[in-house]
């Protein structure tokens, strides 16, 4: 599995959101939806997670496409009791449906703390 941490951590962003205020609203809305349909996420802001599922290696990164073809909008962390990652795409946790769940994480990359990347 290849998942190199970027040389410089990316600033927080939400794909398809214009201004940072919109990105924050979308993020909090998806976060609230996760509390209802899945698990209560913690405060960690995750950019990318490399994980193993059914013997195969996957890497999910915000802003990039999942194998199913949808763009990853957000990734959340919770504990049940071990770390569990909720990978959200339009039809898997953002607009409808359950998130993609990843429990066997090998590498987790956070967004850089501070200013958001959606700022123009």
CA–CA dist 18, 27 (Å, integer)? 13
pLDDT at 70: 96
| Secondary structure of residue 49 in the 3-state scheme | strand
Q: What pTM did the predictor assign?
A: 0.89
Which whole number is the average pLDDT over 32-60? 95
pLDDT at 5: 58
3-state helix, strand, coil split of the chain in percent (to 5) is: 15, 35, 50
The pLDDT value recorded for residue 32 is 96
Q: What is the pLDDT of residue 118?
A: 61
Task: State yes or no: pLDDT of 108 exceeds 90.
Answer: yes
Q: What's the average model confidence in pLDDT over 7-20?
A: 88
């Amino acid at each position: 599995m290849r998942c190199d941490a970027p040389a410089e951590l990316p600033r927080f962003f939400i794909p398809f959101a214009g201004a940072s205020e919109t990105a924050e609203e979308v993020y909090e809305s998806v976060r609230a939806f996760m509390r209802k349909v899945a698990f209560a996420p913690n405060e960690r802001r995750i950019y990318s997670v490399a994980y193993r599922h059914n013997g195969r290696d996957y890497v999910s990164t915000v802003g990039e496409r999942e194998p199913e073809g949808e763009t990853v909008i957000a990734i959340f962390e919770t504990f049940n009791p071990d770390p569990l990652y909720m990978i959200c795409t339009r039809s898997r946790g953002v607009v409808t449906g359950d998130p993609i769940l990843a429990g066997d994480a090998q590498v987790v990359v956070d967004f850089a703390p501070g200013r958001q990347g959606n700022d123009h």
